[in-house]
Amino acid sequence: TGTLYVVATPIGNLDDLSTRAAAILGSVARIAAEDTRHSSRLLGHLGISVPMLSLHEHNEAARVAQLTAYLAAGEDIALISDAGTPLISDPGFILVRELRALDYPVVPIPGPSALITALSAAGLPTNRFRFGGFLPAKAGARKQVLEALRESEETLVFYESPHRILHTLDTLDAVMPERPVVLARELTKTFETFLSGTPAVLRERLVSDPNQARGEFVVMIEGAQPTVDTEQQEISADTLLNALLAEGVGV
Ligand code: SAM
């Protein structure tokens, strides 16, 4: 059987495509791309002409049988999305799950992802984080999701589109107004910007300079401060006292 290569592609700067990714894209029999027109620009830049077929959220389930047949016939296939790492808020999960179930080889070719790129330079804790994908489009649902995460101590990370960024900052201002937030915009591109502040401060920045509201965003929110468990501390002081008394230490 052939191998499915899950290939990460640039999130803006074409120089971020790895040497290995370029070699794989040039060597496979077919490339399954989220949007073939979009990806033909990348392949053109690389001088690669390999047959492409589309694999997006509306046809993925139907494509699985077809791609499995190509692999069964011994063809290697690369899966790419419009930007970054496939399956990360992008198509591919249904295909990869099916191929794993069939015991077909699936090989990741790592590279850019907006999630990790943003976290690596934001200055927020990265030892533990929670990636929430895209927040719901509807205001009520968006608020509910954020309220459910209010006590979470991990750094929160979301993807956001330019037409909803102000709404999201409004919701954050309502749900966690004091929280430090970092917006990473246009990563790896000419107008890459990191902005930090409370939700209200950031909202003001974007409203006063509409250029700052353009492009693609990663929204990162510092986690909640850990709550000190006073009861636990009292218990341990008590336990210590008893232990000392049991040892015959005069207190
Ligand atoms: N699979 C991609 C990845 O690995 O990052 C993410 C795909 S998702 C459909 C697109 C979202 O990723 C955008 O709405 C934005 O939140 C984020 N994104 C992608 N490229 C970005 C960039 N250059 N700068 C900031 N955010 C970006």
Higher pLDDT, 238 or 55: 55
Contact (CB, 8 A) for 10 and 25: no
Cβ-Cβ contacts under 8 Å for 105 (sequence gap 6 or more): 1, 2, 3, 4
The reported pLDDT for the residue numbered 248 is 73
Taking only the tens place, the pLDDT of each residue in 171-223 is: 999 999 999 999 999 999 999 999 999 999 999 999 999 898 889 999 999 99
Query: Model's pTM, two decimal places?
Result: 0.90
- The Cα-based distances of 224 to 146, 147, 153 in angstroms read 12, 12, 5
Taking only the tens place, the pLDDT of each residue in 56-105 is: 999 999 999 999 999 999 999 999 999 999 999 999 999 999 999 999 99
113 lines ligand 1 (CB under 6 A): yes
Contact (CB, 8 A) for 113 and 84: yes
CA–centroid distance, 37 to ligand 1, in Å, is 18
ipTM: 0.99
Contact (CB, 8 A) for 3 and 76: yes
Higher pLDDT, 243 or 25: 25
Contact (CB, 8 A) for 180 and 237: no
CA–centroid distance, 66 to ligand 1, in Å, is 28
218 lines ligand 1 (CB under 6 A): yes
Identify the CA nearest to 213 among candidates 185, 179, 182, 181.
185
Q: What is the mean pLDDT of the chain?
A: 94
Taking only the tens place, the pLDDT of each residue in 159-168 is: 999 899 999 9
Higher pLDDT, 250 or 1: 1
Identify the CA nearest to 108 among candidates 68, 78, 131, 82.
78
Identify the CA nearest to 46 among candidates 69, 26, 62, 31.
26
216 lines ligand 1 (CB under 6 A): yes
89 lines ligand 1 (CB under 6 A): yes
The reported pLDDT for the residue numbered 234 is 62
The reported pLDDT for the residue numbered 213 is 86
The reported pLDDT for the residue numbered 230 is 62
pLDDT at residue 244 tops 80: no
Q: How confident is the model at residue 246 (pLDDT cuts 50, 70, 90)?
A: confident
CA–centroid distance, 14 to ligand 1, in Å, is 14
Average pLDDT, stretch 109-116? 98
